[in-house]
Amino acid sequence: MNLNEIIQDTLSILRLGTESSSNDVYRREFTRSANEAIAIISRRFKQTRTDTVSLDDEYVFRLIDLDRVCYRVERVTSEDGHVFIPWEQTDRGTGEIRCLVGTFEGIHTVKVTYLFRPARLVNLEDVPELPEFAHDLIPVYVAAQHRFSQDGDVAGMGNYQQQTFERMLNDLALEYYGDPKAYKLKGFNEHLL
């Protein structure tokens, strides 16, 4: 689902018409709310990505060298992914990470796995960096935020749509549902084992 489809679905939920003039009127507001929804859903899944970065002479890389905004560094490995490299935040600033390569000779490039904020939707063709099954939640959130900006009973309808979004978010599959152990252990959570 791209941004244009998100706007069209939101207009349909709100019964505001789906012609292009309606799309143009609400595009800025709906895009802002869609980006908020994407950030909320991404934090729910603790989405990670892995980027390759170069180290300077002191084995330091900067978080701004990563392709997306970094919420938290999860792990640093050698470029081939076989060697886990310990790391620490430098004293020079919050955006610098020093790799403690120690005995690892010749490591000048590392892979960094981190929790990230998905890229913002800007163009109508942009697709959210979320699992496909999570895309249907975005128009519901956008509709709720639009209703909240209205007066009277219309704002009350926003509460209903916000609750619908929260319910749909809670009902989304977690990454460990497909794990065979999830069917053997009650309340299985891979992060607790």
Q: What are the pLDDT tens digits along the chain (193 aa)?
A: 999 999 999 999 988 876 766 677 899 999 999 999 999 998 887 888 999 999 988 888 999 999 999 988 999 998 888 888 888 888 766 788 888 876 666 788 999 999 999 999 999 999 999 988 889 999 999 999 999 888 777 777 888 899 999 999 888 766 555 555 545 545 555 555 4
In this prediction the pTM is: 0.78
* Separation CA 47–CA 115 (nearest Å): 6
Sheet containing strand 48-54, edge to edge, reads 48-54, 109-117, 69-78
Sheet containing strand 87-89, edge to edge, reads 60-62, 96-99, 87-89
- Dihedral (CA of 184, 186, 189, 192) sign: negative
* Separation CA 12–CA 6 (nearest Å): 10
